[in-house]
Amino acid sequence: MRLAGRLGGAALSLVMVAVLGFFLFRVVPGDPVVSMTRGRPTTAAMQAELRSQFGLDRPLHEQFWSYVTSLLRGDLGTSFTFRRPVADVIAERLGPTLLLVGTSTLIAVGLGLWLGVRAAWRRDSAFDRAATGVSLTLWAVPTFWLGMLLMMVTGDLFPSRGMRDTDTAPDFVSQALDVAHHLVLPSVTLVAVVCAEYMLVMRSSLLEEMHAPYLVTARAKGLRDDLVRRRHAVPNAVLPAITLVFLRFGLVVAGAITTETVFSWPGLGLLFYDALTGPDYFLLQGLLVFTASAVVVMNLLADLLYGVLDPRVKVV
Amino acid sequence: MSRFDRAGVAGAAVLVVAALVAVIGPLLISADALDVTRVTAAPWQSPGAEYWLGTDHTGRSVALLMVQGAGTSLFVGLTAAVLAVGIGALVGILSGHFGGLVAGALLRVTDFFLVLPALVLAIALSTVLPRGLGTIVLAIALTSWPSTARMVRAQTLTIEARPFVERARALGGGHAHVIGRHVLPSVVPLVLVNATLAVASAIVMESTLAFLGLGDPTRISWGAILHQAQLHGAVPQRAWWFLLPPGVAIVVVVLAFTLVGRALEAVVTPKR
């Protein structure tokens, strides 16, 4: 029953994402074709041609119907700037983003949870104060600015644009090393910002458990302090923290947009920037629907994972 | 005074200084000093006696840009936060007070917006709407109200379950009476804390949108200065004076709002 409710909720959210995506870019003041061709020499005939090409001259309900039916086939429309299906463009850019976001999230989760546990276990210690202070400060730091700063401070140590050099040898090892070299600065930027959030979440989650009676029992049994922490406190506190990692996926998406823009990392985030500078409404609409759906799915996973990891939730 | 209070007071002091700079500063700057066509200084000057923070790519003083930008950043942060928290409080109280279909629908919409990645939606909104301060404020407010709504709703539900509200109802108190006399006063402290923290994230969001080039093109804000810095290659030119001040200002002001918010939170919700 609970599962059905969750699935239904997520399905409804996906429908709302699709509807929002449609109306946000249709019910806008002004003509989309005029905005998209601004700054380029276009005649009225060319604009009319574009309008019919993108189906903008048809009544709204017809447009909506064709939007819905093509969405169900996985067709996100045609990009105005790339003149290709939006789904193809997105698929092409997905790899680099998964690489950047995946690497950074893994490092950030590991580091953040470890720091959070250490800070909470010795509450108000010098380490706790330093870690909390740094995290709060990092939370206030705009991601893009941190990226620009790192780029300026490290100078020529790391490449700061793109994902690979054109003159790298074509064998796998050289290519992989080159990509890893390019990955350093963007992933450090993303880790710094996201890690702070995870650290604070883990810290407060463990603090909630600190006075639980089962810890008193564990200590009364004569367990060493770090065994109490590792075997008893952390396994209980890590569950909500892990779920929150999935729940804050939107944060990672936002971080990826600005980080990729600063470092010209050829992923979805940079595609967002391309789409908004165009402006390319069709591409932006596809990206909105795609990323929002991804976040909805991640949230559903978080929900389901929580039920599996923590049997106490099912009772409620 | 506890460490928390001290941090809160320090934060408040920073905010007072920032507000003074933002309000008084622009009155002391002549329009010519920030007009690209009328400046006389050489571009890309590093900090010196005449220009404390150097000059930008057009020869404008970075220090003056910073003072001028303070107003926009703070104004957008404050208005967007007030609007967001206002929407959040309204939705929260309505969905907590009225049960049934209304609550269900409002809760569904709140959850939907809570899930949507805020920056993605804000980018979409500021791309389709005409550029300007109003658009930025609207884009930030429309994407950051749901967390307040959840919190206010929870608080409303707790209050309405208390015996004194039941008594008020039994004595014939209507919706307006219950909401105005009982729910609202208990929600206000929570809303204030939320508003303070919301300003912090609104300022970061404004700087991000401005950096992406979605800001008001006629106004200087700290994020817009960084947009110019990126656009004209301040990083490869190592023009640290062009890059550091806006970022440091954002971090300091955002941190100050966060510290004040956390100190207020500790006062409003005493724990154990």
Predicted pLDDT at A267: 93
Can you give the pLDDT at residue B225? 94
Q: What is the pLDDT of residue B271?
A: 56
CB interface of B with A, residues 125-144, below 8 Å: 125, 127-130
% of chain A with per-residue pLDDT over 70: 97
In B, which residues are within 8 Å of A152 by CB distance?
Answer: 235, 238, 240, 243
B32 versus A148: which is more confidently predicted? Answer: A148
What is the pLDDT at residue B1?
A: 57
Q: Answer whether the bond into residue A32 is a cis peptide, omega within 30°.
A: no
Closest in B127, B243, B255 to A284, CB measured: B127
Q: What's the confidence (pLDDT) of residue B16?
A: 94
The mean per-residue pLDDT over the stretch A254-266 comes to 93
SS3 breakdown of chain B: % helix, strand, coil, rounded to 5?
75, 0, 25
- The average pLDDT across B62-90 equals 94
Tens digit of each residue's pLDDT (9 = 90 or more) over B78-100: 999 999 999 999 999 999 998 88
Q: Are B146 and B114 in contact (CB under 8 A)?
A: yes
Chain A contact for B230 (CB, 8 A cutoff): yes
Q: Render B182-200 in DSSP notation, one character per residue.
A: IIHHHHHHHHHHHHHHHHH
Is residue A268 a contact partner of residue A255, using CB atoms and an 8 Å limit? no
Q: Work out how many CB contacts closer than 8 A connect A with B.
A: 129
- List all residues of chain A from 18 to 77 with a beta carbon under 8 Å from chain B: 24-25, 28-30
- pTM strictly above 0.80: yes
Looking at residue B270, its pLDDT comes to 64
* A12, A262, A276: residue with CB nearest B123: A276
Pick from A141, A276, A292: CB nearest B251:
A141
Q: Please give the C-alpha separations between residue B216 and each of A5, B26, B211, in angstroms, as whole numbers.
A: 43, 18, 11
B206 within 8 A of B70, measured Cβ to Cβ: no
User: DSSP E strands: which ranges in A159-276?
Assistant: none
- Among A154-158, A306-310, B256-260, the least confident range: A306-310
* Side-chain-facing half-sphere of B206: CA atoms under 13 Å: 40
pLDDT in tens, A162-185: 888 888 888 888 889 999 999 999
Quick one: average pLDDT of B116-120? Answer: 91
A298 touching B (Cβ < 8 Å): no
Residue B48 has pLDDT above 90, yes or no: no
C-alpha distance from residue B136 to each of A227, B82, B105 (Å): 51, 14, 27
What digits encode the pLDDT tens for the residues A89-98?
999 999 999 9
Closest residue of chain B to A20, computed from CA coordinates:
B121
Please check the confidence at residue A316 and state whether its pLDDT lies above 50: no
Interface test with B, best of A145, A189, A272 (most B CBs within 10 A): A145
Whether residue B123 and residue A272 make contact (CB cut-off 8 A), yes or no, is yes
Q: What are phi and psi of B153, to 5 degrees?
A: -60, -45
**Crossing angle (nearest 10°) for helices B118-128 and A2-26:** 20
Average pLDDT over all residues of chain A: 87
- Looking at the complex, report in whole angstroms how far the Cα of residue A142 sits from the nearest Cα belonging to chain B: 6
Q: Are A244 and A250 spatial neighbours (Cβ–Cβ below 8 Å)?
A: no
**pLDDT tens digit sequence for A184-236:** 999 999 999 889 989 998 998 899 888 888 888 988 998 888 888 888 888 88
Supply the pLDDT for residue B250: 96
Q: Which has more pLDDT, B51 or A122?
A: A122
Model confidence band, residue B272 (pLDDT cutoffs 50, 70, 90):
very low
Residues of A in contact with B247 (CB under 8 A): 141-142, 145, 148-149
pLDDT of residue A315: 43
Query: Are B247 and A25 a contacting pair at CB < 8 A?
Result: no
CB B200 within 8 Å of CB A140: yes
What pLDDT does residue B28 have? 85
The C-alpha torsion from B206 through B210 and B211 to B217, rounded to 10°, is -170
